[in-house]
Chains A and B, each alone.
Chain A
Amino acid sequence: MSNHTGTLLRIIGIFMGLISFWFVISLVFTLLIVLTTNVQFNITTALSVFGILLLIRIFYPRFIFKD
């Protein structure tokens, strides 16, 4: 495998790791929501919280596509 391809694969790996990190953070939030409200825990709830977290990160602290 070339160094070029290896670097790209490692970048994908790093991002997968970071996405997993944020997913774990969102799971903690989901558990807090489940424990404090009547919402049932399921994968849709967990993914929704993860989606909201990413959406917040897109706009805060700075819009990610700002030049």
Chain B
Amino acid sequence: MSLGVAGAGLPQIERLFIKRVLVPSVRILCTWNIALFMIKREVKIIEELIKGFDEETLQKRVEIDRAFAIEDHSRDYSINMTLEHLRIAGTAVMAVIETLSNEKEFPKEITIEAVKPKENGKDEHKKFFDFMKIYKEYIKNHKKNYSKMTKKHPWFVNFNNFDWACFMYMHTFIHRRQIQAIIKELK
């Protein structure tokens, strides 16, 4: 039921809007602590959204309409697949933040295909919340410097460690909206 090629990207206008409007605006208005506060809020919202769903429903794949900043390939996910993607991407982002914070080059190339969900496992929601606890603690204790070293996001621009922390929030927000669209289709 796949709707497109993994890593095909976003419509040009959406990509440009994010690259030229959202990224600069986030850079002006966000700080490390704001990004942490906002991501904590997103995790709470996700917790509330999926409360009460059984494991089978969490693994059920449904097709949703086009959602903002979600590429077509990802429009037929289950809730657990979305959470798996958030965990895989989040783990990578945390490694990138750590490397850039030490002013070191992140050697691996970041690809969209590499952060796609692979298992749709039944306990993925638990793994996601466990990961987010680690991430929140990591950012809370981070020295909150602004690295000169950057790593390019495959769709946008070169991000430093702070940009990646803000991206982590925006990314979670976008996929929380995807979860809401999936829940709407499930009902």
Query: Which of these, B25, B27, B34, B177, contacts A6 with CB under 8 Å?
Result: B177
Q: Is B111 an interface residue (CB 8 A)?
A: no
Residues on B with C-beta less than 8 A from A58 are 28
Interface magnitude class on chain B: 20 to 34
Residues on A with C-beta less than 8 A from B24 are 64-65
B184 touches A62 (CB 8 A): no
Given A61-B162, A62-B160, A7 contacting B28 (CB threshold 8 A): no
Main secondary structure on A side of the interface with B? helix
Residues on A with C-beta less than 8 A from B67 are 3-4, 7
Query: Which of these, A8, A14, A67, contacts B157 with CB under 8 Å?
Result: A67
Within 8 A of B (CB), among A1-50: 2-4, 6-8, 10-11, 14-15, 18-19, 21-22
CB distance from B144 to the nearest CB of A (A): 10
B28 touches A57 (CB 8 A): yes
Main secondary structure on B side of the interface with A? helix
Q: How many A-B residue pairs have CB under 8 A?
A: 57
Q: Is B43 an interface residue (CB 8 A)?
A: no
A3 touches B27 (CB 8 A): no
Of residues B24, B25, B29, B65, which shows the largest number of chain A Cβ atoms within 10 Å of its Cβ?
B29
State the interface size on chain A (CB cutoff 8 A): 23
Given A58-B28, A64-B27, A7 contacting B174 (CB threshold 8 A): yes
CB distance from A54 to the nearest CB of B (A): 6
In the complex, what distance in Å separates the CA atom of A54 from the CA atom of B27? 11
Residues on B with C-beta less than 8 A from A22 are 29
